[in-house]
């Protein structure tokens, strides 16, 4: 397959083809448009986007099919950063030019420090991710009828390399990639294993040969709730009590005590979805959300206008959990996104939370238990409550492997960073195994530890 790429600085590519529905709400055009319209991404935010358009040359090279979507036949021509004619669009990968690490959740500060120690600049760096969102998912938009494969990914990386050369970037980081993307990358491009072999050959032969730039993989750990009752042939839970019944008695008692503490403070909870969330609800939610940052002396990344735009453009993916005091006043809010319940591996995503004051156990109730109840009611398969937090373990969230892909453009740093990635994966594998042992489930309901995905 002879694929080519073009570099675009705007999103006019959206009008060139019919695109598959993304696997998470965070890669939908609506989510990205809200980020762009409110300044969360763009040059001022330090998230300057370039889009690598992968296309298949055909007899009409250079002609963009503006009739790909009938209602968009007057689409604007793309702002090209490269001169290649555009054939049939196959996929698009976003690449951000960044001068900071904010909003990423996979940390490479030590690599930046290593560059600085040698008097070198680690910035700019390139990042492919769903901005501000530590959620595993596809990192390319695929045209209808296409599937991610070696040719598409290698062409996308060639586009990344082109951008890196033009802006003199130190590195590229593909964050929270799917296991499929990591597998394809490891099978089709040099990896840290190849680097180790090349270095050993150099040592044994006494000659220095150029080392082809590899794709390096890091692995992390997040905690994922699974809507399956292991002792009942993985059937979904009927209700929250059915879920708790899979716990050991002491752990089950702890959860019930936490929920009781919330009720004893005169606090009740309610959930609203989509268009049922009012303008006043959004105002109150944002006050709560800002408090999460204010207690750390920080400003939030996202604006009230951003959330209002989501409410208008993608309400079917939004659920808001609210905590009310004895007077009926909202004192805390937690915003969730969710996939369509009938979609494959439909997931609930806990994303933004805040409280106007401190309340015992309220965070656990509003961010975890309300989410679990909602996931069970909607028949969702998974609940991803957000990054980090070992306290999720004892509440039934299973340690799950995450993947990120990295490319270092200064060959002098490749061996050391490659070695770091190898050791880091080994450490994270051991951590996941130890964390798995801390799960609260009884013997009949303990899921099987799997370190292969």
Query: Among residues 236, 225, 246, 249, which one has the least CA distance to residue 444?
Result: 246
pLDDT for 388: 75
Handedness of CA 452, 160, 408, 301 (dihedral sign): negative
Maximum Cα–Cα distance across the chain: 78
196 exposure class (CB count in 10 Å sphere: 0-12, 13-18, 19+) = middle
141 exposure class (CB count in 10 Å sphere: 0-12, 13-18, 19+) = buried
- Residue 338 CB partners (closer than 8 Å, separation 6+): 25, 317, 318, 319, 346, 347, 348, 349, 374, 375, 378, 380
Please tell me the distance from the alpha carbon of residue 51 to that of residue 32, in angstroms, as a whole number: 13
Centroid of chain to Cα 403: 10
Tell me if residue 4 falls in helix, strand or coil. strand
Please tell me the distance from the alpha carbon of residue 149 to that of residue 156, in angstroms, as a whole number: 11
CA distances from 204 to 41, 197, 211, 381, 419 (A): 49, 10, 15, 52, 19
**Phi and psi torsions of 440, nearest 5°:** -90, 0
pLDDT for 1: 59
Residue 67 has a CB neighbour count (10 Å cut-off) of 10
Tokens standing for residue 128: 């492919």
The verdict on whether omega for the bond into residue 85 sits within 30 degrees of 0, i.e. cis, is: no
3-state helix/strand/coil string of 18-58: CECCCCCHHHCHHHHHHHHHCCCCECCCCEEEEEEEEEECC
pLDDT for 295: 85
Please tell me the distance from the alpha carbon of residue 361 to that of residue 379, in angstroms, as a whole number: 26
pLDDT for 211: 67
According to DSSP, the residues that pair with 224 across neighbouring strands are 398
Residue length, the chain? 453
Per-residue pLDDT of the chain (453 residues; tens, 9 = 90+): 589 999 999 999 999 999 999 999 999 999 999 999 999 999 999 999 999 999 998 755 444 443 444 443 343 445 556 656 789 999 999 999 999 999 999 999 999 999 999 999 999 999 999 999 999 999 999 999 999 999 999 999 999 999 999 999 999 999 999 999 999 999 999 998 888 887 777 666 665 556 689 999 999 999 999 999 999 999 999 999 999 999 999 999 999 999 999 999 999 999 999 999 999 999 999 999 999 999 889 899 999 999 999 999 999 999 999 999 999 999 999 999 999 998 989 999 999 999 999 999 999 999 999 999 999 999 999 999 998 778 999 999 999 999 999 999 999 999 999 999 999 999 999 999 999 999 999 999 999 887 765
Taking a C-beta distance cutoff of 8 angstroms, is the pair 176, 134 a contact? yes
Please tell me the distance from the alpha carbon of residue 172 to that of residue 362, in angstroms, as a whole number: 39
pTM reported for the whole predicted model? 0.92
pLDDT for 210: 60
- Residues 373-409: b if buried by 16+ CB within 10 A, e if exposed: bbbbebebbbbbbbbeeeebbebbbbbbbbbbbbbbb
Query: Among residues 48, 91, 375, 121, which one has the least CA distance to residue 237?
Result: 375
**Phi and psi torsions of 212, nearest 5°:** -65, 135
103 exposure class (CB count in 10 Å sphere: 0-12, 13-18, 19+) = buried
């Amino acid at each position: 397959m002879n694929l080519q790429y073009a570099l675009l600085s705007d999103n006019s590519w959206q009008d060139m083809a019919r695109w598959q529905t993304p696997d998470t709400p965070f890669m939908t055009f609506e989510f990205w448009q809200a980020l762009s319209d409110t300044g969360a991404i763009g040059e001022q935010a330090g998230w300057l986007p370039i889009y690598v358009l992968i296309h298949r040359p055909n007899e009409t090279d250079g002609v963009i099919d503006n009739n790909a979507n009938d209602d968009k036949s007057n689409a604007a021509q793309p702002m090209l950063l490269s001169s290649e004619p555009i054939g049939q669009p196959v996929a698009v990968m976003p690449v951000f030019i960044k001068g900071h690490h904010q909003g990423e959740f996979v940390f490479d500060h030590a690599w930046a420090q290593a560059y600085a120690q040698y008097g070198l600049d680690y910035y700019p760096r390139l990042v492919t991710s769903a901005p501000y969102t530590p959620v595993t998912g596809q990192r390319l938009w695929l045209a209808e009828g296409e599937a991610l494969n070696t040719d598409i990914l290698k062409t996308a990386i060639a586009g990344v390399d082109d951008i890196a050369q033009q802006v003199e970037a130190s590195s590229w980081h593909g964050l929270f990639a799917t296991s499929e993307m990591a597998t394809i990358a490891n099978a089709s491009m040099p990896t840290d294993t190849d680097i180790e072999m090349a270095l050993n050959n150099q040592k044994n032969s006494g000659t220095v040969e150029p080392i082809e730039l590899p794709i390096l993989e890091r692995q992390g750990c997040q905690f994922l709730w699974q809507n399956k009752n292991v002792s009942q042939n993985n059937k979904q839970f009927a209700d929250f009590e059915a879920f708790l019944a899979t716990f050991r008695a002491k752990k089950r008692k702890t959860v019930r005590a936490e929920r009781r503490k919330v009720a004893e403070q005169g606090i009740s909870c309610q959930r609203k979805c989509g268009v049922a969330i009012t303008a006043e609800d959004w105002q109150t939610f944002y006050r709560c959300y800002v408090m999460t940052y204010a207690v750390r002396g920080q400003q939030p990344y996202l604006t009230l206008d951003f959330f209002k735009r989501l409410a208008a453009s993608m309400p079917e993916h939004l659920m808001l959990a609210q905590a009310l005091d004895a007077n009926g006043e909202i004192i805390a809010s937690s915003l969730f996104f969710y996939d369509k319940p009938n979609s494959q591996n439909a997931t609930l995503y806990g994303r933004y939370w805040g409280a106007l004051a401190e309340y015992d156990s309220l965070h656990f109730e509003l961010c975890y238990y309300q989410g679990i109840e909602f996931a069970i009611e909607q028949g969702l398969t998974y609940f991803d409550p957000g990054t980090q937090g070992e306290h999720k373990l004892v509440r039934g969230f299973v340690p799950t492997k995450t993947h990120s892909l990295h490319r270092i453009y200064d060959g002098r740093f490749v061996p050391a960073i490659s070695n770091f990635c190898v050791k880091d994966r080994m450490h994270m594998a051991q951590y996941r195994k130890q964390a798995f042992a801390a799960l609260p489930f009884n013997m009949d309901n303990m899921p099987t530890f799997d370190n292969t995905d």
